[in-house]
Amino acid sequence: MRKILLALCCLAVLGLCAWLQADTPPADKAAVSVELKLLDAGTGKPIAGIVRVFKVFETKPLVLSGLYDRMRGLNKEADRLGWQVVSSSGNTVSLPRTKLRIEAVSGLESNRASREIDLTEKPPKEISLTLTTILHPEKAGLVAGNTHLHLMNLKADDAEEYLKQIPAADRLKVLFLSYLERAKDDATYITNRYPVGDLKQFDVTGVLVNNGEEHRHNFASHGQGYGHVMFLNLKQLYKPVSLGPGITGSGTDDQPLRLGIEDARKQGGTIIWCHNTFGSEDIPNALANRLDALNVFDGSRSGTFEEGYYRYLNLGMRMPISTGTDWFLYDFARVYAKVAGKLTIASWLEALKAGRCQATNGPLLSLTVDGKDIGEVMNLAGPMKVNVELTATGRHDFQRLELVRNGRVIHFAAAKLKDGVWSAKIQQEIRIEEPSWLAGRIESSTKNEFDRQLFAHTSPIYLDFAGKRVFDIEAARNMQKQMEEARDEIRTRGKFNDDASRDKILEIYSEAAKEIAHRINQRAK
């Protein structure tokens, strides 16, 4: 009896296995290999961009073989976004035989395309998504650049692939790496292995890449100190690259950033203060016209334009706005600079230093005042009316476009959707009765494809009045207060060889406070 039962069980198992085998497709039919391409709607030609793929009715994107991970090097929260790179020549990718939804974008310039496709039976050899270009910065001579990038914990081959694939897919045209030293940790900073200067091996991607230096002082391994400043288009590194025992692990806080800044200036380098208001030596160097631009939101969305950027503008400084992404390309953040003539590293930096630029991770802005463009200076002899036109265009609902005068919003317009594009426009006649600067920005809580809050801000158009620039006494007094707070912090946290070395550092801040007091007195006369 037991033999009969055993035989029946065996037959049942064999039958089940046969049924399962018949229902399950062979391994080579479980997935399909296809050529994935992105096409420009205007030209029909292939373009680079990023995609993510979902099974229909699912919200978790698939991990695809054959594509480079756009979120490489970032945290798991970024990985869940699922974006991957498609090169301009297309990529072969393995996809499951099921119904899929594919999403794609190309830089900030395209719309966001979506397509559903059923690969269950007779899958195609090629899948393409057509993207419509909604922004045309090149028509205005605007060139997208990222001024601040480090990579870490990648092997050399992976770093090369990262720099060849992702910047081009983001439609960047200019990219600056930054050499950085930090005790022990910098052993993993793969971008430190590139030589200073132009990195010609990346020209084939259509992106000009230059390697410079992030010169910095910290009181601790991370965080603030005298500050962080970038030197771009150097001929050689300024050393020591990093200052202070907090970041170097030894030595003293005897040396200011100013010595490195002066050396970089002699080399013909471009000097950009980074991380908004991080550090304390930005004000002394800005007052002495040693800074060429200010990076906002490079590495974090900290601070506001009012407490950071506007404090320079309200003291009459010509300070262009800039940005980058610091560690990895975690966002679409870039500077569009208006380049005259042939695009080179030098011509792009000249455009940035001239203030013909805007920083954004979303919409593209335009601003004119009586036909004058961003970065230009108007000289008004007396009170008069000027015509201002400000626009914003992008693929996301940026919510509100704002016109700013001397740090205060004076007009705004809501973003509106038309033909799949969000836009807003402000056209106003404004009476000018004092020195002014005008700039455009957005105010938005919307997030982009990388889950980053949108921002966009132009450099100003300056309106000097009766030979005078803007000068806000309250802003000046706040700067004086910041200089005193910096002196107190240096006295408390600094490690010096002797009192004379400490006093030499403190004198930099005393001189800045005196210069601000002088400007206040001059304006009061």
What is the DSSP secondary-structure string of 449-507?
TTS-B--EEEPPEEEEETTB----HHHHHHHHHHHHHHHHHHHHH---SSHHHHHHHHH
At 90, give phi and psi (nearest 5°).
85, 165
Residue ranges of E strands in 351-435? 357-360, 364-369, 372-373, 377-380, 384-394, 400-405, 408-414, 416-418, 421-432
β-strands 91-96, 31-40 pairing: antiparallel
Question: Which tokens is 330 given?
Answer: 């975690």
Q: How far are the Cα atoms of 70, 148, 206, 211, 323 from residue 166, in angstroms, in the given order?
A: 6, 15, 12, 17, 17
Q: What number of other Cβ atoms are within 10 A of residue 298's Cβ?
A: 26
Please report how many Cα atoms fall inside a 13 Å half-sphere around the Cα of residue 3, on the Cβ side. Answer: 0
Question: Which tokens is 399 given?
Answer: 């919510």
pTM (2 d.p.)? 0.92
**CA–CA gap between residue 222 and residue 353 (Å, rounded):** 28
At 326, give phi and psi (nearest 5°).
65, -100
Identity (one letter) of the amino acid at 149? L
- DSSP run (H or E) holding 76: helix 76-79
Instruction: Give the CA-trace dihedral at 197, 137, 360, 132, to 10 degrees.
Output: -120
Hey, is 68 helix, strand or coil? strand
With CA atoms as reference, report the closest residue to 329 among 107, 514, 135.
107
Q: How far is CA 190 from the centre of its chain?
A: 20
**CA–CA gap between residue 166 and residue 507 (Å, rounded):** 45
Q: Residue-wise pLDDT tens for the chain (525 aa)?
A: 444 444 444 444 344 344 444 333 343 458 899 999 999 999 999 999 999 999 999 999 998 888 999 999 998 888 899 999 999 999 999 999 999 999 999 999 999 999 999 999 889 999 999 999 999 999 999 999 999 999 999 999 999 999 999 999 999 999 999 999 999 999 999 999 999 999 999 999 999 999 999 999 999 877 789 999 999 999 999 999 999 999 999 999 999 999 999 999 999 999 999 988 789 999 999 999 999 999 999 988 888 899 889 999 999 999 999 999 999 999 999 999 999 999 999 999 999 999 999 999 999 999 999 999 999 999 999 999 999 999 999 999 999 999 999 999 999 999 999 999 999 999 999 999 999 999 999 999 999 999 999 999 999 999 999 999 999 999 999 999 999 999 999 999 999 999 999 999 999 999 999 999 999 998 866
Q: Within the chain, what is the greatest distance between any pair of CA atoms?
A: 117
Cβ burial of 325 (10 Å; 0-12, 13-18, 19+) is buried
Burial 435-463 (b: 16+ CB within 10 A, else e): bbbbbbbbebebebbbebebbbbbbbbbb
Hey, is 388 helix, strand or coil? strand
CB 264 within 8 A of CB 234: yes
Query: How would you write 141-178 as a 3-class SS string?
Result: CEEEEEEEEECCCCCHHHHHHHHHHHHHHCCCCEEEEE
Q: Please give the order of strands across the beta sheet that includes 384-394.
A: 372-373, 364-369, 384-394, 421-432, 416-418
Q: How far are the Cα atoms of 44, 150, 189, 247, 514 from residue 329, in angstroms, in the given order?
A: 28, 9, 15, 24, 41
With CA atoms as reference, report the closest residue to 321 among 357, 364, 297, 274.
357
With CA atoms as reference, report the closest residue to 409 among 384, 397, 426, 392.
426
